[in-house]
Structure 1
Amino acid sequence: MNHYILFYETVDGYVEKRQPYRDQHLRLANEFRERGELVMAGAYDPADGAALVFKGESEDVAENFARKDPYVMKGLVNRWWVRKWSVVVG
């Protein structure tokens, strides 16, 4: 099993703009977590982006999340990308 990090670059005013979609976003995140695919996730401080760590056979697990995420679909994420993460400790 590999790890992948999904990086989000968010729009100005993201914290306020995400409110109408937050419950949907968290529901999706919890679905992925319950399946063991999402390990951890959170916004940066300040919240100009976020990082989500996934576990899976390929980057598809993280890409599938991003494509379903209401934050992405509603334009709150300017740009997203996935990187394979070679975990050394943990």
Structure 2
Amino acid sequence: MPKYIMWGNYCEGVLEKRAPYRQAHLDGLAQQKESGVLVTIGPTADITKVFAIYNAPDETTVRQLVEQDPYWQHGIWTEYAVKEWIQAI
């Protein structure tokens, strides 16, 4: 199955603004991880960017997962890009 990366930006004041949506966000990620579609996800140390790796049949699937996430729906993630990724090693 193809792998995809997602690279995105967080909003200003993310630590405060994410609080109401954090548990729903984490629960959804846990379901994706359990299903095998999400390999890993996390913020940069300065909490300005988010990076993820997905095992998905196509880019559309990844975009649907991102756009269904409470962080996207409530403006915690402000923009993102998805690219197919070739794991060399």
Q: Does the alignment reach a TM-score above 0.5?
A: yes
- Aligned counterparts of 1:76 and 1:38: Cα–Cα separation in 2: 19
Amino acid at match of 1:11: C
Corresponding residue for 2:8?
8
**Cα displacement (A) at 1:33:** 0.8
User: Structure 1: which 5+ runs fail to align?
Assistant: none
Superposed structure 1 runs of 4+ greater than 3 Å apart:
none
Percent identity over the alignment is 27
| Structure 2 gaps, min length 5 | none
Q: CA RMSD in A?
A: 1.0
Q: Where does residue 46 of structure 1 map in the other structure? A: 46
Local SS of the residue matching 1:39: strand
- TM-score of the aligned structures, taking structure 2 as reference length: 0.93
Give runs of aligned pairs for residues 2-81 of structure 1, distance below 5 A. 2-81=2-81
Give me the whole-angstrom Cα distance separating, in 2, the residues matched to 1:61 and 1:52. Answer: 14
Amino acid at match of 1:27: D
**Amino acid aligned to 1:76:** I
Deviates more, 1:21-30 or 1:52-61: 52-61
Alignment size in residue pairs: 89
